[in-house]
Chain A
Amino acid sequence: MNWFGIILVTLLLIALQDKWSWISEYPDAFILPITGWLNVMMDWLVSNLGWFFMGVSWFLEWPIQSVQWALHALPWAATTFIFCVLAFVASGWRLVFFTLASCLYMVVIGYWPESMNTLSLVAISVPLAILIGFGVGVWGFYSSRAERMIMPILDMLQTIPVFAYLLPILMLFGFGTVVGLIASILYSFPPMVRNTIVGLRQVLPEVIESGVMSGATPRQLFWQVRVPSAHKQLLLGVNQSTMASLSMVIIASIIGGTSDIGWEVLSTIRKAQFGESLLVGLVIALMAMVIDRITAGMATRSDDYDRENKTWVQRHRYWIIAAIGTAIVFALAQMVTVLSAWPREMEFSPAREMNEALTYFIINFRAEIESIKTFAFFFIMLPTKIGLQGAISPFTWGFELKTWHVIVYTISMVTLALLSGRRWGIKINILVLLLALFLYIGVTKMPWPAMVLICVFAAWRMGGRNLALGTFLGLIFLVVTGMWFEAMLSVYLCGIAAIISFVLGTAIGIWASTSEKVSSIIRPINDTLQTMPLFVIIIPFVMVFKIGEFTALLAIIAYSIVPSIRYAEHGLRNLPEGVIEAATMMGGTNRQLLWQVKIPLALPVMMLGLNQTIMYAIAMLVIAALVGTNGLEQLVYIGLSDGDFGLGIVAGAGMAIIAIIVDRMTQAWSKKRQAQLGLEV
């Protein structure tokens, strides 16, 4: 069996699908009612163990309430002061100014209380997530059996769409802030686990042995040798967990009941108050950036304290400054009310002006916006979705698809495949043929047995038997639960986004790798996009292009292009010196060097970038359900809003399955390729 066989079978299946309808559509009668079973199970759980979860919920309310109380009781000036001290300790004056500006922004546009509500959730969820993550990580570190069990669960927790597990939490723990808290803990402890395991494992054996020889008891060895030696990695985990927690707290506010920043963004988007939503979105982004910089700064801070020549006061100077300063600011705020409660009339919000500007822009450029949208829709999205056979009509392309068109298409594609096969080898030949086939039939119109066959075969070629088996089982799950069509819609949207992101991003990455200037411009943009909560990225696109698949596509591209750029640049900049020098000495031009030496060598790293791009695309797709898409992500969202637990979970699992399959395939390929090239990433 080889690829040509697979293509033949695919053609056969396509030809036969009119005769046997089960090929094109999996019969409803055979759909397993997993959704129903899950709902029954959930009902049982709620009615029998509900008291337990409610108890936990009640118990968790307390710390949230008290932190909220404290953050509201403190005047904004005092809180800001504390943050500035933290920023100084973590990094220095620049971060202090940034923090100060961010805090002032929140105050001045009048969203300070909402920001503090969000912050209080983060403040509780992060420590809990870190504790849990550290504990689980330590367990995984000491027992490889435990590790094998933990890792797939982490994969699931990080790939199942957020919306899918909001509902069960809601059903078990009841309405309220606790839902956000638990969801955010579930989502944010996995990075801590991973970093804990990696960090503890990285400690050099000599360091451990020297600890043993210093006479450490096992407990001392762990707490005074192993953990501190791993502290950089652990703090990296803290940073990642914090960011994950923040993004989840924001998303969780979709269920409402909390007057926090996430809720404000959502409701302003729903009310089509775009100026407001952008301004509030910026609050989230600023908050994320400040927290990220502070925790990252703590992680990389080089401790330069010198204990023995310092007095107690010197050693604890930051604590003292923070305490005294806060007290002073607090006292001041009692006298100068502006420092505790910013008066309404002093609030400044350019939201109205922004709305007007937007309206002006949309009215004046309506034609251009519409034509971009139509073009993309008719010539890119529709053909991928339902194929050329469906997309071409007098209404869209201006002519009808005739037999001779098909013949010309077939001949030219086969020629193209043969030519490129001759130039770059048989693999490219097959790739072109497959792409041509998909473009003609359409991702969603491809018969499911053919799709399963192609994917499983690809998995087998890339990663061997186990991967093929896993892929098969995963895809069959999608089939028998009756979600195949929605799954393909998700694949189609993600697929286009990922391909565009990868091509564009890699091009930008290549450019950045040749020019310091470009690189230094691109880097902060990437950083910002990566710390930006997903909600916020959507806002500008919704403003201009309104709700719809095209908007979703743009938002996904904006977010998922980042890893492609990063990895391409990284891969090209970190090639083995010797090879480049050798090629230069052979008299290669810059262009030859790039295409024939650098890119092939950097390809495995770029593939990892593709992998990350797809993962990012899937993450964004879930959020994009809010602006109107039709795939699995929409089912998840519907499950949430209809309270259909089973539907949400099954669709969510479906998305996780797609994500994990793609992840394993690209990783397997990249690893194989690296091994061939003898490189390490």
Chain B
Amino acid sequence: MEKSTMNKDVRLSCRNIWKVYGPESDQFFEGGNGVVDDPETLAENMAKSDHIVANANVSFDVHVGEIFVIMGLSGSGKSTIVRCLSRLVEPDAGEIFLDGEDLLKKTSSELIEIRRHKMGMVFQSFGLLPHLNVIDNIAFPLKLQGIPEKERYAQAERVIELVGLQGRESNFPKELSGGQQQRVGIARSLAVEPDVWLLDEPFSALDPLIRKKMQDEFLRIQSLLHKSIVFITHDFQEALRIADRMAIMRDGKIVQIGRPVDLILNPVDDYVREFTHDVPWESILRASDIVEKPDGPIEGMGRVSGDTSLASLLSYLSDHEEGVIVEAKDGSVLGIARGQGLLSALALGCAIGPAHVKV
């Protein structure tokens, strides 16, 4: 169903997850794999009988090294699904596979092992321990594992450097700004070197400037560590900047999954269009705004003029991974335009790259 099925292994996969809150929420399923004939009607019936359907039939895969973003309005079930993935919340039905193993079948002691070594989570409201200073907060998961003090401080120092908090080791959470606290939260979740990283609106509590900086740092960290990431956000611009693929949720259901460009180009309905709507740059920006240096032979690629609007380029680029040659009025080659560059431009809302690239 997706265009870019990366040729990589699936790390985390959830199949037909259901989570219902309400007076008799356990009447609908007794465990089971959550596969039902008509999920739409079932969810409607649940809602009618005064239940809150936090997750309905949610399925997606997260590949190795991929950033998977989930978006949706408040209350659409985003937090619930990541809490299901981490089993902070028990789904009513469905299956979750981590590296091919069924997570829901794990005993609580196996689960503790998984959380200690494979999974990290960052919380919207940080969840720092108020009685521990920065370094102890970060080393806390290691302490729980019984790792000796020296080793765990060494490891904590490494991640502190990663998030740029050197010099604040002995501060207590209440002495830090929101952005700094969130870095502690990020560092703590990284201290155990997890394969799977769950982030629930990690940057929502931050002001726009700091948020932007944190996004940069996040991308930098990811380029170093290559985790498999589930990232929740409210902010489409943020999603554009960081997502490999993304899902949009509504009323507990997934409405659409795809690359950001797919969502912009082919929104399945108005709800999705609403999200992508805020980004009008495609009609403002021109092809010449996004040219970059070609990194290979450019023979046989299509050519467009520099003042072509990005809106009219979108569909072409989504079908041609390699990009398109952009030429100036006089026919000289400015460079090539690619899907990724286009996305970055949309995300930033401004021109990037040198204006003229002579080949």
Contact = CB atoms under 8 A, between A and B. Distances in A.
A374 interface: no
Interface string A209-240: 11111111100100011001101000000000
Interface in A126-185: none
B172 to A, nearest CB: 8
Interface residues of A, number: 25
Contacts of B112: 215-217
Nearest to B131: A228
Given A215-B115, A215-B145, A224-B144, A229 B153 contact: no
Interface in A274-319: 302-304, 306-309
Of the candidates B132, B144, B188, the one having the most CB atoms from chain A within 10 angstroms of its own CB is B144
Nearest to B83: A209
Contacts of B185: 210
Nearest to B142: A214
A217 to B, nearest CB: 6
A213 B120 contact: yes
A207 B127 contact: yes
Contacts of B121: 209-210, 213
B189 A213 contact: yes
Given A214-B141, A220-B144, A306 B131 contact: no
A28 interface: no
Contacts of B113: 215
Contacts of A309: 170
B135 interface: yes
A503 interface: no
A134 B132 CA distance: 22
B264 to A, nearest CB: 33
A231 to B, nearest CB: 6
Contacts of A12: none
A228 B123 CA distance: 20
B127 A209 contact: yes
A215 B129 contact: no
Interface in B91-130: 109, 112-113, 115-117, 119-121, 123-130
A308 B169 contact: yes
A320 interface: no
B159 interface: no
B86 interface: yes
A306 B170 contact: yes
B169 A210 contact: no
Contacts of A426: none
A212 B130 CA distance: 16
Given A209-B127, A229-B130, A215 B141 contact: yes
A204 interface: yes
Nearest to B123: A206
Contacts of B141: 214-215
A70 to B, nearest CB: 32
Nearest to B174: A302
Contacts of A207: 127-130
Contacts of A216: 112, 144
B115 A306 contact: no
Given A206-B123, A220-B144, A308-B135, A213 B129 contact: no
A204 B123 CA distance: 12
A491 B153 CA distance: 64
Contacts of A307: 133, 135-136, 170
B88 interface: yes
Given A213-B88, A216-B112, A229 B131 contact: yes
B136 A209 contact: no
B227 to A, nearest CB: 15
Contacts of B129: 207, 210-211, 225, 228-229
B144 A213 contact: no
B189 to A, nearest CB: 7
B272 interface: no
B242 interface: no
Q: Which of A211, A214, A229, A309 has the most CB of B within 10 A?
A: A214
B115 A204 contact: no
Contacts of A209: 88, 121, 123, 127
A210 B119 CA distance: 12
A211 B143 CA distance: 12
Contacts of B192: 214-215
Interface in A354-406: none
Interface in B44-68: none
Contacts of B131: 228-229, 231, 303
Interface of B: 86, 88, 109, 112-113, 115-117, 119-121, 123-133, 135-136, 140-141, 143-145, 153, 169-170, 172, 185, 188-189, 192
Interface of A: 204, 206-207, 209-217, 220, 224-225, 228-229, 231, 302-304, 306-309
Given A213-B115, A215-B192, A306-B170, 18 more contacts: A206-B126, A206-B127, A207-B127, A207-B128, A207-B129, A210-B123, A210-B188, A213-B86, A213-B88, A213-B121, A214-B192, A215-B145, A216-B144, A229-B129, A229-B130, A303-B172, A307-B136, A307-B170
27 contacts: A204-B125, A206-B126, A207-B128, A209-B123, A210-B126, A210-B127, A211-B129, A214-B144, A214-B188, A214-B192, A215-B116, A215-B117, A215-B141, A216-B144, A217-B112, A228-B129, A228-B131, A229-B129, A229-B131, A231-B131, A303-B131, A306-B133, A306-B170, A307-B170, A308-B135, A308-B169, A308-B170
